[in-house]
Amino acid sequence: MVIWLRGERSPLGLDQDVVRREALAQVLELDQGWQAIEQRGAALLAEARAQADALVAQAEARAAAIVADAERRVAGSTRLGYAAGRQQGLDAVHAQMQARARDDRAVLLAMRERLAEVVFRAVQRLLARAPHHGLYQRAAEMVSAELDQASFLTVTVHPGEAAQVRKLFNVAGLPLRPTIIEDAAAGEGACLCEWDYGVLDAGLPSQLAALRKSLRQALDAAAGQAHAPEPADGAAP
């Protein structure tokens, strides 16, 4: 049985009914660190949104000023009778507005990159310090539902965590006894489960890799939208 510190969504849990004072103090300290990271991430996100709103407001103000200046140029050109001056003024307006828009998009993308890296590094540091028994407990629960017709199960982990994993999997009520493979190259927090017709990589490195991939995909999608071709002059909205 695992006792989650702040509900099942908490990244921290205890697999013991009786907890020593030193272990409890360590878990509470890790939980405080996790909450601090969540608060920091929320603050960074709020700051990024505020800066984005400010950039939009500045861009709108600059666009209004550019349009007003263009109107003055067009009016002056019209009074002087230079038809070419009107088109040149409009071309200058379009060029300036497009340049400003590109600059603002670049700033927003840089802010997103920074925020994504801060979130990833914070989660990485916290999970590196947190006990891994909750991770292995979840892996055992996920594998249990897939072993009805299996004839074998191997679990590859770091040697320093083999005893803990063996204990957790033995008490998980699996339909067969797993073979624990100790592999120093797997790294701490690794947990690779293999059976007759399936593989489950539930370890910490794979989860961090998935997190980084997800953040990268989100940034790439945002960058794709930012660099989408702009509509041609005179095109219908």
Q: Are 12 and 107 in a shared domain? A: yes
Q: Are 12 and 123 in a shared domain? A: yes
Domain C-terminal end among 103, 130, 157? 130
Q: Are 75 and 143 in a shared domain? A: no
Q: How many domains does the chain have?
A: 2
Between residues 81 and 121, which one has the greater pLDDT? 121
Residue 104 within any structural domain of the chain: yes
* Helices 133-144 & 162-170 angle (0-180, nearest 10): 40
Domain C-terminal end among 130, 149, 182? 130
The verdict on pTM exceeding 0.95 is no
From CA 10, how far away is CA 5, in angstroms rounded? 6
Q: Which residues contact 37 (CB under 8 A, 6 or more apart)?
A: 122, 123, 126
Q: Are 22 and 113 in a shared domain? A: yes
Residue 97 within any structural domain of the chain: yes
Q: Are 112 and 174 in a shared domain? A: no
Q: Are 86 and 146 in a shared domain? A: no
Q: Are 112 and 164 in a shared domain? A: no
Structure tokens at 163: 């005893």
When pLDDT is cut at 50, 70 and 90, the band that residue 43 belongs to is confident
DSSP 3-state assignment of 181?
A: strand
Q: Are 119 and 191 in a shared domain? A: no
Residue 157 has pLDDT above 80, yes or no: yes
Residue 14 within any structural domain of the chain: yes
Closest CA to 35 of 15, 10, 3: 10
Quote the Cα angle for 112-115-119, to 5°.
140
CATH code, domain carrying 182: 3.30.360
Domain C-terminal end among 102, 130, 158? 130
Q: Are 61 and 141 in a shared domain? A: no
Q: Are 198 and 124 in a shared domain? A: no
Range of the domain at 13: 3-130
pLDDT per residue as tens digits for the range 184-221: 888 888 888 888 878 878 776 766 676 677 667 776 77
Residue 2 has what pLDDT? 46
